[in-house]
Chain A
Amino acid sequence: MTAPAVKRIAALAPAYGILAGLFLVPIALLFAVSFWSVRSFKLEPGFSLDAYIRTFTVYGSLFVWTLLMAAAVAILCVVIGFIFAYGARFRVGTHGDLFILATMITLFGGYLVKIYSWKAILSSNGILNSLLLGLGLVDQPVGWFIFNRGAVIVALAHFLLPFAILPIYSALRNVPDITLDAARDLGASPWAVLVKVVLPQCRTGLVAAFAICFLSAVGDYVTPMFLGGGSAIMLGQFIVSEFSTRFNWPSGAAMSFSLMGASALVIGAVWLAFIGRRR
């Protein structure tokens, strides 16, 4: 082997060593554990599909609900994210950069703070209710703002929106202004320009935004735990309890891998529908 090759491998070793040792191996081990079984709180190695069967029977409807919630959040984020990114790119001139900056400043922080702030806003003795009471719009605190799927979707969408805006915005930045002019020149109405010229050109950004938001939402358990009310409404909550209170690791692992597999299918389907056949 030549000297530069050795140096390169040495330089790449730490990053990929960490990836292999702390990610690939543990995930493989977790995958193995998902086929084990548990007898009286003790793990028993082996090959059993019980944990998977349990996931799709006992937790079947919750599983589907989790996927639906994640899809709702992802679609909401892609739609609002597109509106925002489109406005920043084409409709507010040089102020666009400022609006994008506003989305980026909280990109690398604020996860718990955001969830908490929604609780402070939506709870029955919270900010929104006190405002409504103070303005005389309601006589007593509104209870349905919080502890339901709607509150979870709103909070998740709020947290994930910047992650949808950025890929869409960077896709839109690659859409030449001149193609918009050309379409209008050829008779396209503003709506036709949007549908036939802008959207198709940024569809990879849209799909990427959907994937990021879907993946982040589907595995979240903190938001539903805080804003979803007493009973669990997303699978992540059960994965946590299987690990932390019931010590049923195979079950929690099987739920995790089922969820990831289903997510991969959903995202694969979205990708095929919007991009695959055109490449």
Chain B
Amino acid sequence: MEKAATRGSDGEVGGRRELETVVVRFAGDSGDGIQLTGGQFTQVTALAGNDLTTFPDFPAEIRAPTGTTYGISTFQINFGGRRIMTAGDRPDVLVALNPAALKVNLADLAPGDQIITDAGAYTERNLRKAGYGANPLEDGSLKKYRVIPIEISKLTLEAVKPVGISQKDGLRCKNLWTLGLIYWLYDRDRQPTIEWLHRKFEGRPELAEANVAALNAGHAYGETVELEGEVKGFAVRQAQIEPGLYRNVTGGEALSWGLVAGAELAGLKLFLGSYPITPASTLLHLLARLKHFGVVTFQAEDEMAAICAAIGASYAGGIGVTSSSGPGIALKAEALGLAISAELPLVVVNTQRAGPSTGLPTKTEQSDLFQAVFGRNADSPLAVIAARSPADCFEVGVEAIRIATRHMTPVMVLSDGYIANASEPWLIPDVGDFAFEPPKFHTEPDGFQPYLRDPDNLARVWAIPGTPGIEHRVGGIEKDHDTGNISYDPANHQRMTDVRAEKVARIADDLPLQTPEIGEASGRMAVVGWGSTFGAIGRAVINLRAEGYEVSQIHLRHIWPLPRNLGELLAGFDSVLVAEMNTGQLKMLLRGQFLVPAEGLNKVTGQPFKISEIEFAVRTRLEKEDERSRVR
């Protein structure tokens, strides 16, 4: 479920209680295979016809000591028979493979939620490592939940015994045993996972056999044993989904493919210069495997070299991309100024994380909006766009290359740790369907000047080395508007500053006008957002409208320049609430640009917004206004 108020129907299907949506969270040690377990559950759930969204959350430590609270890895999936827009506010079912996993996640549960846990893991040693003085399974502290303790380790070892593998290898199958039980609980098909196990352990058939045995045993356990609390399993009906070919995709994957597609549509060599940083390195890893598409990846010596190499690539006639997270973007700022001054296309991906400084590298935040729009010395405008969900990253990748090459400008792409790692089903597009005018290099020597501009959008010509007859020099020193030669002329600097700003402003001429995602184009309140808050705001607005509130959702892809009609659109609402995971950056931008009395709903806990938090904030504000108008 995404929110308790909309919990699903209570009908029965084949002896199973029917649910509209469910949130399951798997939690265990980093070494327990939690992410793999979640990935398999995601796949079979998609096959079952449910819509879904997932949220993997793993510790910053690479190999934290087993059994400790800081070594817990979790994977949450929200799935159901309607459109699923977030990974869920909180789990309905927590699968905790040890006491530490229980301890870390308990605070997110509501009374009556289900806990499935490995009773065999509650040894004195594990309890101590998790910081429990007494065994929570025995001291009554869990009585408000529906706890199902099962001897998972013991049952797993029994199940794999016939295969004859070591106890250590056997115990590693307990995630598959647990998965088997959850498959039974939600009536999922085991076959795709069985096939996957055979592929994964191709060279070691005994491990494949053991894992399949564990999966089947977990499933059989659900079927035959009466689970405590009279659990008989659930049915989740299929969602209404647009027909077509689907796959599950993470934001990292979608963005890398979007960039490859964008480069292909542009007819350009894709060059990524990057320096490893959490949580942005995925893009480097994924693109490094795509050499057969002509993609060049360069792991640079530092963040400055990474962006400078990308600038060099664009200068030479490729499309340069650099990727990092906030601290790395800060290091790239000077070079961004060069790309702005030299008016070269460039894509800069910022997978935002919580800061300042090292901050919380694996936790998500949207606090680099100011850095993206303003974070450079001098008047240094560039385009900023934001991805709203994992699958949306594909279109954003294509769009970034389109804007960069059409307008000869750096484009900052804002993603975040949540989008990069989370996944959702994606209706796979046909790349041929994208409207994209490939850029043309300038080759005509007659009348050539390096800063010749398109009279409409003010983009300068792209004249690349290797072209005879137009040899020229560019750089970071101010250039004469007409000749491109170095110029210290005061009036010329004013003119060039104005041109650079106007060039970026005119990107908006190409952009679609902003429309509400949900609701009318005017009303009592617009909830405005950008980036990964899309799902949470959307579901909250749907719920609030069902309760009769006159609320609309406006979600921005284009942060700079802003859509032409945005000011007018916002002016049509009595109030504007900007929900973002920072202390009010878009809010301040909108106030500054449009003089709208926007208010902020802000959260910086490193965790995504909950739907209930947004609903609560909207209700509270609207009710307060109602009260005020009554008093008047």
Q: Do A and B come from one complex?
A: no
